[in-house]
Amino acid sequence: MEITKVDKSGQSIIKINKDKILGTEGMEFQQAVLQSLDQGIKKIEIDLSDVNYITSWGIGMLVHAFTTTTNREGIFALTGVNNKVKTILSKVKMDKILNIKESIVS
């Protein structure tokens, strides 16, 4: 499975278990985000600790999840982001839009 989801303490941690996010995992990813929000979970943490590369389609997938979460008054954050992925996000200014944190666990 490319995506794993763990719910605890009113938060979902959605981990992408791939070296590269190409966008092909978009449907499974979006279903995980929507399932959490439909359950009333307001904190969505996306764990990218296994990811070393992301395409524009992958970035679009993250932006869509961010928008969906914030439109439902949730908190969305990326965690485990390595320097390679941070550089890619920075080049397209997504580091200014997407919250990149150590963790949002409260």
Let me know if residue 105 belongs to a domain. Answer: no
**Residues listed for the chain:** 106
Residue 41 lies in a domain: yes
Closest Cα partner for 48 from 57, 39, 59?
A: 59
**Is residue 37 one of the residues assigned to a domain?**
yes
Q: What is the mean pLDDT of residues 70-89?
A: 96
Read off the pLDDT of residues 15-67 as tens digits, 9 standing for 90 and up: 999 999 988 888 999 999 999 999 999 999 999 999 999 999 999 999 999 99
Assign residue 72 the CATH number of its domain.
3.30.750.24
pTM > 0.75: yes or no: yes
Domain that residue 36 falls in: 3-96
Residue 104: its pLDDT value, please? 60
As for how many domains the chain has, the answer is: 1
The answer to whether residue 102 is domain-embedded is no
**Percentage helix, strand, coil, to 5, in the chain?**
40, 25, 35
In a domain, 103, yes or no: no
